[in-house]
Structure 1
Amino acid sequence: MTPPSPSISRRGLFRLAAGAGGLALLAGLTGCTPPSGPPIGSGEIDLSFWTHDDAYVRFFTEAVPRAEAASAFRYALGVTKAGAADIVTKLIAQAVAGTGTPDVVGLEIGAFTRTLRGTIASELLTDLTDIVAPFGDDLMSARTAPFSKDGRLYALDSDTPMTVYYHRGDEFERLGLPDTFGTWDDFLATGAKLADSDGVSLGAIATSDPGGTVQTFHVHLLQRGGGLFDAAGEPTLETPEAEDTLRMLVAGVQSGALATVSDMYGPGMQSGLKSGKIIGVNMPSWYSTYGIQPSAPEQEGLWRISPLPRFAGGGGRTGAGGGTGFAVLRDKPASEAGVQLITAAYLDPEQQIKRYRDMGYLPTLRSVYDSPELAALEDGFFGGQRLFEVYRDIVDEAPEIHQSENQSIMDTVLSGHLLRAYRGQATPAEALTDAARDFRGQARG
């Protein structure tokens, strides 16, 4: 690897990296970086590729012929797989060591925040801003914002993970419920009655793991038009949007309309889905694959999706949560080849269609939402529903996510105050004010 540029010393990078979460070397991550040298512009190339998910390995491997057809390279991918958090830790550690970094790396959205500290992103990752400029507004800002800093883009997102309301179609029919609720107030009123009469919850939120607890608040907050941070990375908790969101969630928890589970994937959630005690949930589009279907495969054909109920105070019909951005390490011999690979795999409309069909990840190009092929797809788990019709209807309401280098502090601080509000130990306004105060104190430290 080419050493970091003179604008930041290796010792300076070490200090920044330590503040981003430590530099413990992790066993099992043994990617190999080609020797340093001049940029490679064509021919055979060994590309070191790091990711946390086998699905990405398959997708990019299958995309190699397309990348070769669009470039002067012939690729051999050297794949390394590890946990999402481990990847960014090792990436920064190897950058400090001056060797062993990958050429292409997949950074889960939460892990990417660690590159926002200081100049880590700009020193390590290729700036993709000018490369994607020809796509204009077609490459949706809702999915470039999470992987940007100071107006510069450093990774291409794998998904537009809009939140929808998953619900049991058969149970809704049995209980005489509408396919959609007009507002969250309507949802809460119906949910409170059902909890009292049938012991059934219309939704669920996580209350144990700090990250999960904040996420289930955050997806609702984004729908309301708010966020945890603004575009400058400053906290935005003390707002009408945040208070409205927390007030709604507190009312749902205290009435039983919303069940509380340790996390959205564990035994509590699985039991609630299987038993029919939880018959709906607001989660991102990928939750079908990673949450509902693994938890209750026997319920195939019974589920449906719909846009979210609206907040009376404003916002849209969808939120957002999750994503993984693929980045290219800068100033390496294979950097150009890495850029050619990720752009061929992720910015070609046919590849965006393939990604949805193969992985369930929604397009990041707005024009692809007009694809007749995607509109016609029927999903057997959802009773043959054409899910893409719902996503097409709400895509223009997809919110931007702004991130901060201090996301881990926010998760730790905010989760505790959310729990105080759910337990009735603080009003929503008090909980958010206290969280903002504690966040500022810890972030300064």
Structure 2
Amino acid sequence: MTRTHHPPPTPPPGISRRHVLRAAGGLGAAAALTPALAACGSAAPAEPLTSGRADLAFWTHDDAYVDFFREAAANTTGSPFTWHLRPTRAGAADLVTKTIAQAIAGRGTPDVAGFEIGAFTRLLRGDIAAELLEDLTGHLDPDIRADLLTVRTEPFSKDGALYALDSDAPLVVYYYREPEFARYHLPTDLGSWDELADAGTRLADRHGVAVAAVPTGSDLPQVLQSFEMLLLQRGGRLFDADGTLTLDTPEAEDTLRFLADGVQRGYLTTVSDYYGPSMQAALKTGKVIGQWMASWYKVYGLIANVPEQSGQWRIRPLPVFPGGGGRTSFAGGTGFAALRGKRNTLAGVELVKAAYLDPAEQVRRYTVLGYLPSRRSVFNDPGLTRIEDAYCGGQRMFEVYRDIIDEAPVLHLSADRTILETVLSGYLLRAYQGRTSPREALRNAEEDFRGQTRNRGGS
């Protein structure tokens, strides 16, 4: 496959360690490295590599990305670079901490890094992203930029700059175990959550079976994500485009009421998390026969936990909320970025572009990793539509994704998301238990959040 490579923009100046320290002032990494900063000063601009062999420090939380990028590098022709990856694997949160710490230390930063969307929020505080990451906007052909899904560029953008390209367009769908739906005479095409709730209540009363699960364990990001997926579908947001909390809304109240009613009426069951022993047991015993979740859940949730149920599962668009919203949502994502001011900055940018913008590589990413395209035009690729998924009984799953992609909501991030995870998760659990009303839970969570962010100086 041949790609057209445009001349790269003028390389950026070197990263200023003092600027990074100031931007990261509220982060533990900065405090931990204070003794090492006595000689802190502006780094000299790196002489940029503009062609030839590029040995890239490549950091990721998932080894599958290493294999994908290596093959993309091998597939690419016409580039002034040849890429050789030196991979480092770390947990998603640790990867961000280590990147910031190494930038403050003035050495050892990656050339290319994949930031999981939840961890990326930490880079949005102050000027951290602008100091560490190359703005990709000027590196992109305008036609390609217009073809990228805004719903996938927005989470990795700030102040008009795009800092990473997303690995996926993880649409949320409803997974259902078709033989079990048939056994209980449960329709698979119910149009609204209210209809599914009524049918699910009868199912729970008669058979002790739930149509989905919600996590209530110690993994607070999962507790929040379960709520946020349906909130986005309903048309609500946790944060607006400016990073301001928008929680006390009718959309949020509708969403939380559906979840709390579900737990109390039994059509939803509770598990500690979506991936561990409690969910595995619920799936294996048939106590849970459906779940709203992102496109990647087939691999990481179902195949990982119940491989023996291959052929039994299907997907469909989400049932709708009567009050409004669409038939899908988003959950997850990982943005790959190039670190700015380094010798390999331009080489890193070109690798990310080669792997993530070429239509053929977007198709390969879906066939190899199951990750959906981030370019809208690739959803029209006839080859993707023809793929039949064995685990889902030969279903042409991409037909579902193509049908709902234009209804996908925009997700806005905030540097204070981790505060909200702590505050809101507790109130969600209280609402599930019937200890507070949905409206009170949301209002109290917003009040507590604003108090905590005021105490630390806001976003």
TM-score (normalizing by structure 1): 0.94
Residue 239 (structure 1) aligns with: 249
* Secondary structure of the corresponding residue to residue 381 of structure 1: coil
Matching residue of 2:213: 204
- Residue of structure 2 equivalent to 1:253: 263
Which residue number corresponds to residue 42 of structure 1? 51
1:150 and 2:159 correspond: yes
- The separation in 2 between residues aligned to 1:314 and 1:430, in whole angstroms, is 22
Aligned mate of 1:162, from 164, 168, 171: 171
Say if 2:63 is the partner of 1:54.
yes
Counterpart for residue 98 of structure 1: 106
Q: CA deviation at 1:103?
A: 0.5
Counterpart residue number, 2:15: 4
Q: Which runs of 4+ in 1 moved over 4 A?
A: 20-25
Distance (Å, rounded) in 1 between the aligned partners of 2:143 and 2:391: 38
Q: 1:128 — aligned with what?
A: 136
For 1:80, give the aligned amino acid: T
1:178 corresponds, among 156, 167, 187, to: 187
How far did residue 71 of structure 1 move? 1.5
- Counterpart residue type for residue 102 of structure 2: Q
1:43, CA displacement in angstroms? Answer: 1.1
CA distance in structure 1 between the aligned counterparts of 2:144 and 2:32, rounded to whole angstroms: 37
Per the alignment, residue 32 of structure 1 pairs with: none
Alpha-carbon distance in 1 for matches of 2:216, 2:24:
35
Taking a change above 3 Å as real, the CA distance of residues 292 and 92 of structure 1, as seen in their structure-2 partners, is same
Contact 1:128 1:155 survives alignment (8 Å):
yes
Task: Provide closer, same or farther for how the CA distance between residues 384 and 10 of structure 1 changes in structure 2, counting only shifts above 3 A.
Answer: closer
- Among 192, 196, 200, the alignment partner of 1:191 is 200
- Which 5+ residue runs of structure 2 have no aligned equivalent? 1-11, 35-43
1:56-79 Cα deviation digits (max 9, x unpaired): 000001011234x23211221111
State the shift of 1:176 in Å. Answer: 1.5
Picking from 434, 443, 451, the partner of 1:433 is 443
Name the CA distance, whole Å, in 2 between partners of 1:23 and 1:350: 44
Q: Is the 8 A contact 2:46 2:341 kept in 1?
A: no
Q: Which residue pairs with 1:358 in the alignment?
A: 368
| SS of the residue 2:69 aligns to | helix
2:238 counterpart of 1:228: yes
The answer (yes or no) to whether the contact 2:134–2:163 under 8 Å persists in 1 is: yes
Shift in CA distance, 90/245, structure 1 to aligned 2, threshold 3 Å: same
Question: Matches of 2:126 and 2:173 in 1, distance apart?
Answer: 35
Distance 1:96 1:51 in 2: 20
Q: Alignment partner of 1:382: what SS? A: coil
Matched-pair contact (CA < 8 Å) for 1:66–1:344: no
Asked whether 1:384 is paired with 2:369, we answer no
Counterpart of 1:123, as a letter, is E
Structure 1 stretches lacking a partner, 5+ long? 26-34
| Worse-superposed segment, 113-122 or 207-216 | 207-216
Secondary structure in 2 matching 1:107: strand
Amino acid in structure 1 at the alignment position of 2:195 = D
Partner of 2:355: 345
1:419 lines up with 2:414 in the alignment = no
Kept after mapping to 2: 8 A contact 1:270/1:295: yes
Among 371, 383, 393, the residue aligned to 2:381: 371
Cα offsets for 1:340-372 (capped at 9, x unmatched): 100010001100000000000000011111111
Matched, 1:64 2:58: no
Measure the CA separation in 1 of the matches of 2:68 and 2:26: 33
Kindly provide the CA deviation profile for residues 267-308 of structure 1, in whole angstroms up to 9, marking residues without a partner as x: 111000000010000000000000011111110100010000
Q: Which amino acid in 1 is paired with 2:173?
A: V
1:272 — aligned with what? Answer: 282
Percent identity between the two aligned chains: 56
Contact preservation (8 Å) 2:20, 2:132: no
Q: Which of residues 283, 288, 307 in structure 1 aligns to 2:298?
A: 288
CA distance in 2, matches of 1:105, 1:12: 22
The match for 1:114 is 122
Using the alignment, how far apart are the partners of 2:247 and 2:103 within structure 1? Answer: 34
- Alpha-carbon distance between aligned partners in 2 of 1:231 and 1:21, rounded to the nearest angstrom: 28
1:50/1:80 contact within 8 Å kept: yes
Return the letter of the residue paired with 1:278: V
Q: Paired residue for 1:216?
A: 226
Supply the distance in 1 between the matched residues of 2:315 and 2:21 (Cα, whole angstroms): 51
Distance 1:43 1:376, change over 3 A: same
